[in-house]
Amino acid sequence: MKPTLLVLAAGMGSRYGGLKQMDGLGPSGETIIDYSIYDAVRAGFGKVVYIVREYFLEQFKETVKNKYSNVKCMDGEPLQFQFVTQELDKIPARFTLNPERQKPWGTAHAVLMAKDTVKEPFVVINGDDYYGRDSFRIAGDWCRAHENSEGVYAIVGFRIDNTLSESGGVSRGICHYDAQGHLTTVVEHHNVRIEEDGVLRGDNSVSGEHVELNAQDLCSMNMWCFTPDYFAKSAKIFEDFLDENANELKKEYYIPYAVDQMIHSGTGACDVLSTPSRWFGVTFKEDRPGVVAKFASLVADGIYPSPLYK
């Protein structure tokens, strides 16, 4: 069984100033998605599904045709690609879209766009985040081990100190889990950074307190492993969400919310996996030089070839 990689690439990059999913950051103009696909293929994945917006769908298709036409899976078969679009009006028929809404419906809504396309265990990632080869190996192994499972999913957790920014404080969802390694909740912390006294601290969004954090605690960077039964459960939760929020202009349906609902209703459990990889990504244009330097370093260390695809 070859897992599928589901790439969330529908963001419009308003804070970045353009489509960061398409920005060439590697030494030979590689995008962050290029590196994710490279790592996923070597971890045994067999298909990539892009979640994009309609207005740049053809641009993505042309990129795939030109760049990945010679990419082979580990078994020698060609890597497969499919595309689905996330648009505001893609909601259940019994709901009416508020014509004033402009904000997307969120990451869990984006994943639902692939429900008719993905029939095997799959891994969800952000298109503008670098996760590292160990993360894809860990996620791929989990998917193969759960090919026939239902009601159990996984999150790939990163050590907080492997996700910090040199530019200042960041927001991180810290994973809490039980003795069996099952996720119980994700608690958002803001302004997470190492302060002048060398101590890692952040603002707990629940208590409002500025608290000391353990650098080795695991946090979510939106890398999830799901089996196909997730779609039906998430679709039901989305309908419940819309019952309360259909007329809201800014409320979004996020993956952590969907998983939390499954955990607390007893319809799903979520394993917490730990990766040694270091995360980095681009949110603002100011992040670009640092990411370019990191990819140059990874190439210089022999982790990746340059160019990545020939």
- Is 132 contained in some domain? yes
Confidence of residue 132 (pLDDT cuts 50, 70, 90): very high
Peptide bond connecting 307 to the previous residue in cis, omega within 30 degrees of 0: yes
Kindly write down the DSSP assignment for every residue of 21-64, as one continuous string: GG---STTS--HHHHHHHHHHHTT--EEEEEE-GGGHHHHHHHH
Residues 6+ apart with CB under 8 A from 44: 2, 3, 73, 74, 140, 144
pLDDT at 286: 80
pLDDT in tens, 219-255: 999 999 999 999 999 999 999 999 999 999 999 999 9
Query: Positive or negative CA dihedral for 23, 134, 162, 218?
Result: positive
Q: What is the pTM (predicted TM-score) of this model?
A: 0.93
- Is 250 contained in some domain? yes
Q: Which two tokens stand for residue 252?
A: 């979004």
Q: Nearest-CA neighbor of 162 among 140, 132, 133, 197?
A: 132
pLDDT at 44: 97
Q: By mean pLDDT, which of 54-63, 122-131, 254-263 is the weakest?
A: 54-63
Task: Give the CATH number of the domain where residue 174 resides.
Answer: 3.90.550.10
pLDDT at 287: 83
Could you tell me the residue range of the domain that residue 214 belongs to?
4-300
Domain count, the chain: 1
- Is 94 contained in some domain? yes
- Is 307 contained in some domain? no
pLDDT in tens, 37-74: 999 999 999 999 999 999 889 888 888 888 898 999 99
- Is 267 contained in some domain? yes
Identity of residue 40: A
- Is 183 contained in some domain? yes
- Is 309 contained in some domain? no
pLDDT at 284: 72
Mean per-residue pLDDT, 182-209: 94
- Is 63 contained in some domain? yes
* Helical ranges in the chain per DSSP H: 32-42, 57-67, 107-112, 133-145, 230-245, 255-265, 288-300
Find residue 185's DSSP bridge partners.
Answer: 176
